[in-house]
Amino acid sequence: MGLPGKGAPEQGSEYMIEKKDLYEWCSIPVEELEHHPKLVTKFRLVKDSDEMGRLMAQEFADEIAKANEEGRRFRAIVPCGPKCWYEPFARYINENRISMKNVMIFHMDECLDWQGNLLAADDPYNFRTFMCREFYDPVEEELMVPEENRYFLSPGTMFQVAEKIREAPIDYTLGGWGQDGHIAYNQSRRHPFSHIGIEELEQSGIRIQENNLDTIITLGQRSYGAAYQFVPPMSITLGIRECMSAEKVRVFSDTGAWKQTALRVALFSEIDAEYPMTLLQKHRDAVITATYDTADHPISHHPEWKFAGVNI
């Protein structure tokens, strides 16, 4: 089963981005991105984290309110991050008395130690601890998502979660992306003896995996002053198949420099297994949103820079 989509052309599993194309995409001024004629996925530009957080919160809450009005269950896939939307979301839910009693939440991913075990509850990368504190607890009790409707990933629950996702359509996937364009923990697979192409990536499901070295280094720089030794080396994740099965997919980032190139690739490239978020262009209702700092790119400010292998 393919992704629900707009009929995007099939791409070969060996497609590789050429440096001259990457240079062209990264050279586009940020002000020209939102309405650029060569966009392959819908894009929105916001000023900063505050604006993005309010947008994420209101759009998600309004989808829940709409489902309530229509008397139907609302099923959503939710990430641990970006973090700017949790406080405005809880405030919006509470102030507008939007019940989440009929909401089912499937959490995107979770971090694991080197043996594939869950992290300690007070580890900064324990996503369940963070989501309980930041996403669930601030909502007033009479409006809160029931505990039995919260589906966290772990090695012991992955098959149960997969079964529950298959029971009915997903309404909404909310997410971000990583430095290589990964959605959830669907990273580009770089194992020297186990290559996967676009078709396999598109059909990927819930799984336990080793994290890529560049993911570990990037998260170490972001969180721990480059102390990569404290970054979880493994993860459990929903697959692309689950994340992209939703009626609507909305991905956001306010992280800045380490997301800039992946964004440019997602906005302009053909589908490429090296950048999983390029698959968004096949979805019928996917939107990428980024802050100004995340959508900007240093190459766009330096036309005097020359690079080997690039014809300019």
User: Residue 271 region, left (φ>0) first, then alpha (ψ -120 to 50), else beta?
Assistant: beta
> Helix count (H) and strand count (E) of the chain?
10, 10
State the Cα–Cα distance between residues 76 and 107, nearest whole angstrom: 9
Residues contacting residue 66 through CB under 8 Å, at least 6 positions apart: none
Place of tokens 């369940």: 128
**DSSP H or E stretch at residue 90:** helix 86-96
Tens digit of pLDDT per residue, the chain (312 long)?
A: 344 444 444 444 456 899 999 999 999 999 999 999 999 999 999 999 999 999 999 999 999 999 999 999 999 999 998 999 999 999 999 999 999 999 999 999 999 999 999 999 999 999 999 999 999 999 999 999 999 999 999 999 999 999 999 999 999 999 999 999 999 999 988 888 988 899 999 999 999 999 999 999 999 999 999 999 999 999 999 999 999 999 999 999 999 999 999 999 999 999 999 999 999 999 999 999 999 999 999 999 999 999 998 865
19 phi and psi angles, rounded to 5 deg: -60, -35
Tokens 């998502």, located at residue: 145
Please, where are the H alpha helices in 184-296?
198-202, 213-224, 240-243, 260-268, 292-295
Length of the chain: 312
Question: What pLDDT does residue 311 have?
Answer: 62
CA distance to 98, 114, 175, 240, 254, per residue, from 34 (Å): 32, 41, 19, 25, 16
Angle at 61 between CA 59 and CA 84, to 5 degrees: 70
* Per-residue confidence (pLDDT) for residue 14, from 0 to 100: 57
- What is the model's pLDDT at position 16? 83
Burial of 260 (0-12, 13-18, 19+ CB in 10 A): buried
> According to the model, what pLDDT value does residue 10 have?
44
DSSP 295: H
3-state secondary structure (DSSP) of residue 62? helix
Could you tell me if 242 and 205 are in contact, meaning their C-beta atoms sit under 8 angstroms apart? yes
CA–CA distance from 151 to each of 156, 163, 297 (Å)?
Answer: 12, 11, 37
Owner of token pair 């991913």: 109
State yes or no: cis peptide before 82, omega within 30 of 0.
yes
d(CA 6, CA 200): 19
Residues 6+ apart with CB under 8 A from 191: none
Encoded tokens for 54: 């309010």
**CA 301 distance to own-chain centroid:** 27
Residue-wise pLDDT for 236-273, tens only, equals 999 999 999 999 999 999 999 999 999 999 999 999 99
Q: Which of 247, 204, 233 minimizes the C-alpha distance to 67?
A: 247
Q: What is the DSSP string of 14-59?
A: T----HHHHHHHHTS-GGGTTT-TT-SSEEEEESSHHHHHHHHHHH
| pLDDT for res 195 | 87
Q: Which two tokens stand for residue 92?
A: 């919006």
> In the prediction, which pLDDT does 312 show?
55
